[in-house]
Amino acid sequence: MFFGDNMSVLSTLPDQSFTLIYVDPPFNTKRRQTRAERTMVRAEEGEGTHVGFKGRSYTSEVGLKRSYQDSFDDYLSFIEPRLLEAYRLLAEDGTLYVHLDYREVHYVKVLLDQIFGRDCFLNELIWAYDYGGRAKSRWPSKHDTILVYVKNPKKYHFDSAEVDREPYMAPGLVTPEKRERGKLPTDVWWHTIVSPTGKEKTGYPTQKPEGILRRIVTASSRKNDWVLDFFAGSGTTGAVAAKLERNFVLIDQNPEAIEVMRQRLPAATRYIDC
């Protein structure tokens, strides 16, 4: 785990050393991203702000707030040198996943076509969820896009047999055997966000659920392969890689992200302050 500017760290890593690179860069929302840790505390009957199981009363207590600034005047100038480094660092059988939203994904897609070549474009994954506010003046935005590129379209590793399967949307139209086994995911992934009250929650803004990273790590790497995330944030990539017996490198320059990762991965990491 490296604490420092990712460009400085990336330049020190050897060529073709990672089978999988996943990055969740800032989305360039032009605003400060903030999330507070919330804890539900049991209250006297009738005095709480929330009602839970069997009518019990609870109060929501706000704890530590974590934040980062998500704004770049020239996003492509910021992201291009980092994607060039990702290309250099990918092994011949390697795969890059770039997690974005609607603001920059179209521009980054063109940039990645230039860096990797259009024949190395593998997928546009849609992660759809249904949580948060509802816009009244437009269709509410409830998905992220993950662009997937491979270093060599004839050699990349992909193991669909190891990926977690999901229920059929129309189970009555398939045999009982298929219904029991489930189906392989398509390029549209329906998956909830990190629950605000779940065990997985770290309190870090923009934390991604382990279920999304588990699918990526399982499909595009093997045990003992090396996985890189140079916008590591809350450390979800490392947490999943460790559970799946992969090696990992995490990089972030936000002290709050480093604090979260050190708490989340105390036994699995070597910390380097750059």
Mean pLDDT of 154-169: 95
The DSSP-derived string for 61-75 is: EEEEEEEEEE--SSH
In this prediction, residues 86-99 reach a mean pLDDT of 98
Q: What percent of the chain has pLDDT over 70?
A: 83
Q: Which carries the bigger pLDDT value, residue 255 or residue 72?
A: 255
- Collect all residues with Cβ–Cβ distance below 8 Å to 114 and sequence separation of at least 6: none
**Position 232 pLDDT exceeds 50:** yes
**Please, what is the Cα angle at 65 between 62 and 71, to 5 degrees?**
140
| CA-based torsion, 9, 124, 115, 91: positive or negative | positive
Question: What does the pLDDT average to over 175-204?
Answer: 91
Q: At what angle do helices 105-116 and 75-89 cross, to 10 degrees?
A: 40
Per-residue pLDDT at 28 = 59
Q: Which of these, 111, 68, 97, 200, lies nearest to 158 by C-alpha position?
A: 97
Closest Cα to residue 92, out of 171, 177, 154? Answer: 154
Q: Which CATH architecture has domain 2-30+71-162+191-273?
A: 3-Layer(aba) Sandwich (3.40)
Q: Rounded mean pLDDT of the chain?
A: 87
Above 50 in pLDDT, residue 52? no
Q: What pLDDT score was predicted for residue 56?
A: 58
State the pLDDT at residue 48: 61
Among 50-64, 80-94, 259-273, which stretch is predicted with the lowest mean pLDDT? 50-64
How far, in Å, CA of 69 to CA of 146, rounded? 22
The arithmetic mean of pLDDT across residues 123-148, rounded, is 92
Q: Is the pLDDT of residue 30 over 70?
A: no
Helix (H) or strand (E) holding 273: strand 272-273
For residue 162, pLDDT beyond 50: yes
**Average pLDDT for residues 221-226, to the nearest whole number?**
98
pLDDT attached to residue 42: 59
> What average pLDDT score do residues 17-34 get?
76
Does pLDDT of 63 surpass 70? no
What does each C-alpha distance from 241 to 12, 39, 247 come to in angstroms? 22, 28, 7
| Window from 175-179, 234-238, 269-273 with minimum mean pLDDT | 269-273
Buried b (16+ CB within 10 A) or exposed e, 215-235: bbbbbbbbeebbbbbbbbbbb
Which tops the pLDDT comparison, 109 or 64?
A: 109
Structural contact between residues 174 and 168, judged by C-beta atoms closer than 8 angstroms:
yes
The single-letter code of the amino acid at 259 is E
Q: What is the DSSP string of 65-126?
A: EEEEEE--SSHHHHHHHHHHHHHHHEEEEEEEEEEE-TTTHHHHHHHHHHHH-GGGEEEEEE
pLDDT of residue 44: 64
φ, ψ (nearest 5 deg) of residue 263: -75, -35
Report the percent of the chain where pLDDT is more than 90.
69
Which is more confident, 153 or 37?
153
Q: Domain-by-domain residue ranges, the chain? A: 2-30+71-162+191-273, 32-67
pLDDT at 62 over 50: no
Contact 148, 94 (CB under 8 A): no
At residue 170, does pLDDT exceed 80? Answer: yes
Give me the half-sphere count of Cα atoms (radius 13 Å) on the Cβ side of residue 99. 23
